[in-house]
Amino acid sequence: MKKIVILTGAGMSAESGISTFRDSGGLWEQHRVEDVATIDGYERNPRLVLDFYNERRRQLPAVEPCRGHYLVAELERTFDVTVVTQNVDNLHERAGSSHVIHLHGELMKATSTLSPNDPSQIIELSPDNPDIHIGDRAADGSQLRPFIVWFGEAVPEIERAAEEVAQADIFVIIGTSLNVYPAAGLIQFAPPETPVYLIDPKDVPWQSTHRFHHIKKGASEGMEELMRILKIEN
């Protein structure tokens, strides 16, 4: 069974109605990156940061996976599929994907401020009780914080993602600007002979020697075209 690795970015979830950070009208226009997505911002004003992610968490159950999410999951009928996502939502899992690596953390989880990447400190939050409050404690006694990889923090899953890409027979990139590192560097781990399919309606700067096929469509329409290219009925 051939192995497909799919790297997804904000453009994937945008079709489900989740605001992107970089596009016009996105979340970054309402909040400064330094205030809500850095450890310094969290230390300065933890309540602001907790409220920011609490609000996003409350909105998530009302959002449904898009057609593209479901088509990615459908690929598992024919291929060995690993999804590597820069998104912190759970839409890939809800659409049925069974092997998802979250590079930037998971919105529906909380962890220790002291040891955020310690698996023993990570807890799952429920849609019925999604908020983290000042005074909520992790198992080690420290304040619970969002299980999110903030700017400037290490990306603990990047090595596992690189190992998956290195084994890929086909590499698919959906809805990412390829400007955010280290995720953008994953293409360099793909074997030279591995075909790369880039699904994005916009022009994307391509700085790799890998040959690639640009499907200039959104996530859902682009995935439908990819299924036709791979000759998969859906």
Do residues 28 and 191 touch, judged by C-beta distance below 8 A? no
For position 70, which CATH number holds?
Answer: 3.40.50.1220
Report pTM.
0.92
What integer pLDDT is reported at residue 203 of this predicted model? 82
For residues 179 and 227, membership in a common domain is answered with yes
For residues 56 and 74, membership in a common domain is answered with no
For position 117, which CATH number holds?
Answer: 3.30.1600.10
**What is the residue type of 115?**
S
For residues 6 and 122, membership in a common domain is answered with no
**H-run or E-run covering 56:** helix 46-59
Q: For residue 99, indicate whether it is catalytic.
A: no
For residues 117 and 129, membership in a common domain is answered with yes
Q: Please indicate whether residue 152 or residue 94 has the higher confidence score (pLDDT).
A: 94
For residues 80 and 94, membership in a common domain is answered with yes
**Which listed residue (69, 92, 102, 104) is catalytic?**
104
Sequential DSSP letters for 95-107: HT-S-EEETTEEE
For residues 75 and 169, membership in a common domain is answered with yes
Sequential DSSP letters for 117-184: T-GGG-EEPBTTB----TT-B-TTSSBEEEEE--BTS--TTHHHHHHHHHT-SEEEEES--S-STTGG
For residues 6 and 33, membership in a common domain is answered with no
For residues 9 and 57, membership in a common domain is answered with no
**What is the residue type of 148?**
I
On the question of pLDDT at 113 being above 80, the answer is yes
For residues 99 and 110, membership in a common domain is answered with no
What integer pLDDT is reported at residue 70 of this predicted model? 98
Q: Using 50, 70 and 90 to split pLDDT, how confident is the model at 24?
A: very low
Task: Please count the helices (runs of H) and the strands (runs of E) in the chain.
Answer: 8, 9
Tally of residues, the chain? 234
Q: How many domains does the chain have?
A: 2
**H-run or E-run covering 108:** strand 105-112
